[in-house]
Amino acid sequence: MKAPKFSYTRATSVEHALELLDKHGDEGRILAGGQSLMPTLNMRLSQPEMLIDINGLNDLKGISLDGDTVCIGALTRHVEVMNSDIVTEHLPLIAEAMPHVAHVAIRNRGTIGGSVALADPAAEMPACILALGATLVVQGSAGKREIPAEEFFHGLYETARAENELLVQIRIPSQKADKVSVFLELARRHGDFAIAGIAAYGSVSGDTVNDMRLVYFASEDKPTIGTNAIAALNGKTWSDETKEAVNTALEGDLEPMTNLHGSAAMKLHLQKVLTGRAMDAAVARAGGAA
């Protein structure tokens, strides 16, 4: 396959990139890692007039700790997140999820900001930052604004970021000592697109779940909080009866998409299986009986 004709500009600063976005509107595309953009260009699913390369913008790179918040620049490569001591210590959910992000070559080039901004429903990072209550910092020519992760993902490849805005940073609260996290996904082969997945984060005391957040991905058109499942879970002792109640409640939370990876019914079943496994693991990690 061969990409369509397009113009190319290497941005020299964030302000330069924003000027180009203002100028070209929806005909401009940001080139960061390019692991999703380049295939869609070659298949002519994307046909922008202008590619805006931001790879030289060092201000958008790096991982730091700001009090009890981990700050990750949008241009930080997946491999850098995966190898970060800060992430390992303060964001174990993301550390657990990172090995599931595609393959080594893609992690070497792909960026966490690109993954979040694209909002692919099968991507791991959007689900993780939603589970952790992250804040997305976007910047336009009028300045910066912060968007809670709960308000960022609107639908299939749709987010709250405007066309002339750039995702510049992800701010994620550090995992508290009394919390546990679990990440699980199912794919045909390790590194393939997920068919079903869950990111769980919360507190467990003994066998009792006190404050758990369940976020599902891959089966829906966006990362989805299991509101009904959470209501059936929190405050309960984890047992076969609780698992059955949570699985029943989950049917009101999810509307899986039927596609080449499987039927809606199969994906709902897989999400129920993952929920049980995730809670077994969460209780065990908290020192319970599971």
Residue spans per domain, the chain: 7-53, 58-173, 180-285
Residue 58: DSSP 8-state: G
Helix 240-250 to helix 264-285 angle, to the nearest 10 degrees? 140
Q: What is the pLDDT of residues 105-156, one digit of tens each?
A: 999 999 999 999 999 999 999 999 999 999 999 999 999 999 999 999 999 9
Q: What is the CATH number of domain 180-285?
A: 3.30.390.50
Tokens of 234: 């929190």
Give the pLDDT confidence score for residue 1 in this predicted structure. 66
Tokens of 66: 């700001």
Distance CA 97, CA 94 (A): 5
Give the pLDDT confidence score for residue 46 in this predicted structure. 86
Tokens of 224: 């989805």
CA angle 59, 61, 64 (to 5 degrees): 100
Distance CA 283, CA 42 (A): 46
Query: What's the pTM value of the predicted model, to 2 decimals?
Result: 0.96
For residue 241, pLDDT beyond 60: yes
CATH topology of domain 7-53: 3.30.43
Q: What is the pLDDT of residues 25-67, one digit of tens each?
A: 889 999 999 989 888 888 888 899 999 999 999 999 999 999 9
CATH topology of domain 58-173: 3.30.465
Residue-wise burial string across 101-134, b where 16 or more C-beta atoms lie within 10 A, e elsewhere: bbeeeebebbbbbbbbbbbbbbbbbbbbbbbbeb
Amino acid (one-letter) located at 69? T
